[in-house]
Amino acid sequence: MTETNAEHKHPGTGTYVTIAAVLTVITLVEVGVFYVPAFEAFLAPILLTLSAAKFALVVMFYMHLKGDHPLFTAILTIPVLIALGVAIALLFLFGVFTLGGSGA
Amino acid sequence: MSAVAHHTSTGLDNRKLAMWTFIGSECLLFGTLISTYLVYQGQSISGPMPGEILDIPLTSISTFVLLMSSLAMVLALAAVTRGEQRWSRVWIFATAALGLVFLGFQAYEFTHFVHEGLTIKTNLFGSTFFVLTGTHGAHVAVGVLLLLTLLVRSFQGKLGPDKAMVVEITGLYWHFVDVVWIVIFTVVYLLS
């Protein structure tokens, strides 16, 4: 049986609502962290981690990559990694990041 | 012919494969736009600057609206798959409506910024901000059009369980627009 006519299992309504609740909580935490001065020194790593978690949840459960064919995961992951690499390279190239610490 | 019954050499639905490939290419487009925003961040000579003009509470609400639209989208797909015509219409309409609300927030934000003196030509922040968020907004608008098309097809009685793949592919596009906003919200709004 091919993927075309196979019915790969999607999560149920309960899972979808749970994921939405988790996404809402993460967004509230993000905004909360933004307003707390104590987190200022760690703001970037905290926010980027939370953002990555939201990204992964949507892709895995709402876009169904978790139970879908691995080729789809590769088709998404490779361009995301290339885009991330290009972004980091450009930030070094334009002096936003430097090897000795953050730049301008 | 059924929408999901054709044979392919990969065993995967060609339309779904095409949508994932398109999404992959879109990752590179938005990666470039976000990189450009970051490279020029803090390089503006004159204001308004991001810290002076960005409204975090307002954008947090619009972010929540877009996240909830993704929930409505998956519920629409589940309803179409189960053959529940009434609920599939409700959830597709809800997704499109939430998308329109998001666009309303963006239109308000853009108008407010222009009144505050920030246009695409004002400074580097304005140029990179409007190009990035405007491109995303255009994608949301295309998504809303796709959803309204699905809604019309549903009212024509042409959106049964055999067309679930069409709804899934539209959903993939919609969720991609959502994940791009997740990144933009963090990088442009919270880290600025």
Q: Which of A48, A62, A94 sits opposite B186 (nearest CB)?
A: A48
- A10-45 per-position pLDDT tens digit: 888 999 999 999 999 999 999 999 999 998 889 999
The rounded distance, in Å, linking the Cα atoms of A59 and A62 is 6
The answer to whether the predicted template modeling score (pTM) of the entire model surpasses 0.90 is yes
State whether residue A27 is helix, strand or coil.
helix
pLDDT greater than 60 at residue A102: no
Q: How confident is the model at residue A51 (pLDDT cuts 50, 70, 90)?
A: very high
Cβ distance of B186 and A50 shorter than 8 Å: yes
Cβ distance of A91 and B63 shorter than 8 Å: no
- B122-181 per-position pLDDT tens digit: 999 999 999 999 999 999 999 999 999 999 999 999 999 999 999 999 999 999 999 999
Count of all residues that appear for chain B in the document: 192
Locate B91 and state its tokens: 């959830």
CB contact residues (below 8 A), chain B span 42-71, against chain A: 42, 56-57, 60, 63-64, 67-68, 70-71
The rounded distance, in Å, linking the Cα atoms of B22 and B1 is 25
The rounded distance, in Å, linking the Cα atoms of B149 and B146 is 5
Q: How confident is the model at residue B5 (pLDDT cuts 50, 70, 90)?
A: low
Strands of A1-104, DSSP E = 97-98, 101-102
**What percent of chain A is modeled with pLDDT above 90?**
71
ipTM over 0.90: yes
Sign of CA dihedral A58, A61, A66, A72: negative
Cβ–Cβ < 8 Å for A53, A26: yes
Contact list, B185 vs chain A (CB under 8 Å)? 30, 51
A18: which residues sit within 8 A by CB, 6+ positions away? none
Q: Which of A3, A34, A90 sits opposite B56 (nearest CB)?
A: A34
Distance in Å, alpha carbon of A10 to nearest chain B alpha carbon: 8
Interface residue of B14, B35, B80 to substitute, partner A, most A CBs within 10 Å: B35
Buried b (16+ CB within 10 A) or exposed e, B101-136: bbbebbeebbeebeeeebeeebbbbbbbbbebbeeb
Distance in Å, alpha carbon of B119 to nearest chain A alpha carbon: 24
Q: Which of B4, B7, B23 sits opposite A76 (nearest CB)?
A: B23
Query: Which chain B residue lies closest to A84 (C-alpha atoms)?
Result: B31
**CB neighbour class for B48 (10 Å; exposed up to 12, middle 13-18, buried from 19):** middle
Torsions phi, psi for A9 (to 5 deg):
-70, 125
Locate B151 and state its tokens: 């809604």
State whether residue A101 is helix, strand or coil.
strand
